[in-house]
Amino acid sequence: MAEIDIDHELTVVDRRVRQAEEQAAAEVARVGRISGRATAPDGSISVEVAPGGLLTDLRLTPAALQVDMETLARRITSLAERATRLAGGNMHKALAPVVDEKELESLGYVPVDDEEADADPEADFADPLKQRERRL
């Protein structure tokens, strides 16, 4: 049975990890700021999030405030969820050339198909129970 030089193996793994980090950082720098944006059909609400869902921008017009607060909160949440999916898809697209597909998916960065990217934002304001059924 051959012996394994654990120090050598750890050095190789460490080098590969550093190379992957450098390649990923270079790719993200090349692409620029990565985010996802979703806007209400009437333009009254616009949400931007970073990958992972951190809210980076929220814009409301006076028209957005014409509904009750529960409806407004539901609309903002729905748009933020859509923007989060789009941000994850954008991050996936940026890192796919340098990071393994399974690793990207484990981080929650999955491709967004054209149908999702082009989906009618009006669906974001559908009945919450129907939305939940669509996702299941």
Break the chain into its structural domains and give their ranges: 34-127
pLDDT at 135: 44
Within 8 A by CB and 6+ apart from 26, the residues are: 98
Q: pLDDT (tens digit, 9 = 90+) per residue, 63-118?
A: 999 999 999 999 999 999 999 999 999 988 888 888 888 888 888 888 887 555 55
The pTM is what?
A: 0.66
In 1-136, alpha helices (H): 6-31, 69-95, 101-106, 114-117, 128-135
Confidence of residue 121 (pLDDT cuts 50, 70, 90): low
Residue with tokens 């934002």: 121
- Whether residue 134 is predicted with pLDDT greater than 60 in this model: the reply is no
Residue 107 amino acid letter: L
The pLDDT of residue 116 is 59
Class of the domain covering 34-127: alpha beta
Q: At what angle do helices 6-31 and 69-95 cross, to 10 degrees?
A: 120
Copy the structure tokens of residue 28. Answer: 């993200």
What torsion, rounded to 10 degrees, do the Cα atoms 117, 76, 81, 29 define? 70
pLDDT averaged over the chain?
82
Could you tell me if residue 108 is left (phi over 0), alpha (psi between -120 and 50 degrees) or otherwise beta? left
Q: Which of 55, 37, 49 is nearest to 117 (CA)?
A: 37
Dig out the tokens for 136 from the structure.
Answer: 């299941």
